Structure 1
Amino acid sequence: MTAPPQPQRDEGQPVGVRAYAEAEAAERELPTLLSGRGHPPEFRAGVTAGYSWALGREARSPVTGAGADGVPDMELLTAEIDAAVVREDEAAGDPVTRDYVRGVHSALAWICGYSNRRV
């Protein structure tokens, strides 16, 4: 049995509005960025999932399950942000889902340039 092919890393390829290397560096800093801020585990999991998918490490997006071959393009990233906003509203009574979706939204908002906060 062979492992599925992994997306090729291309440091010149953009991830949203960020350079691949910049997004990858932010992902490496997540443990530090998320520690000590009182974020619930579900939020941290959402942030991690958002970065991992945006960097092309996951085949399915974290909110909608949309497929992407490698690094998703800006259109797919922004569609996932939109879906996160809707899902967050729908999950008002479910704090676990709400916090996860907020984490995804936070990660993707930075990647797409809608926020200056990496988390």
Structure 2
Amino acid sequence: MTAPEDRTPSDKPATRQGPTALVGVRPRGDVDLALKYLTSRSDASAQLALGVAAAYRWALGLAAQAPVTGSSAPHTPDLRLLTAEVDAAVVQLEDPTTQPGARDFTRGVHDALTWVCGYSDTRI
């Protein structure tokens, strides 16, 4: 699996900007820091880290397509869309035919978005 295509600056939505804006239930600044921190970590598997990064980028409105479903929205994803992507990740993770690399990517997306949505206190 590969990370979804990035948005160009002109495609980037203007909503939910600023340090106090929320991404899911987390302050935008916290999600930005989580993405920056992820790039400096080396203990996660490559596919897991790619999934986490894809999830954070999509949640921040920096990627045009959702990392698991590939769906696109004309705006930064709200909590409803973020939760739908978590649900899609759960379905894929429960599928015994999912290949290990894809499973790691999807696990990364799942774990990152559960934190963004407030379903977990563990930041990846």
2:55 matches 1:50:
yes
Output the CA distance in 2 between the equivalents of 1:3 and 1:24. Answer: 17
The CA deviation at 1:90 is: 1.6
TM-score, length basis structure 2: 0.83
Q: CA 1:86–1:70 in structure 2 vs 1: closer, same or farther (change >3 Å)?
A: same
Output the CA distance in 2 between the equivalents of 1:69 and 1:20. Answer: 19
Trace 1:16-27 onto structure 2 (pairs within 5 A): 16-27=24-35
The residue identity in structure 1 corresponding to 2:92 is R
The CA deviation at 1:67 is: 1.1
Among 44, 56, 69, the alignment partner of 2:74 is 69
Could you tell me the percent identity over the aligned residues? 44
The residue identity in structure 2 corresponding to 1:29 is Y
TM-score, length basis structure 1: 0.86
Which string of whole-angstrom CA distances, capped at 9 and with x for unpartnered residues, describes residues 13-64 of structure 1?
A: 21000111121111111123x42x3x22111110010000000001110000
Q: Which moved more, 1:17-26 or 1:51-60?
A: 17-26
The CA deviation at 1:65 is: 1.0
Trace 1:1-119 onto structure 2 (pairs within 5 A): 4-8=10-14, 10-11=17-18, 12-32=20-40, 34-35=41-42, 37=43, 39-90=44-95, 92-119=97-124
What is the number of residues matched between the two proteins? Answer: 115
Q: Where in structure 2 are there 5+ consecutive unaligned residues?
A: 1-7
Aligned residues of 1:91 and 1:97 also touching (Cα < 8 A): no
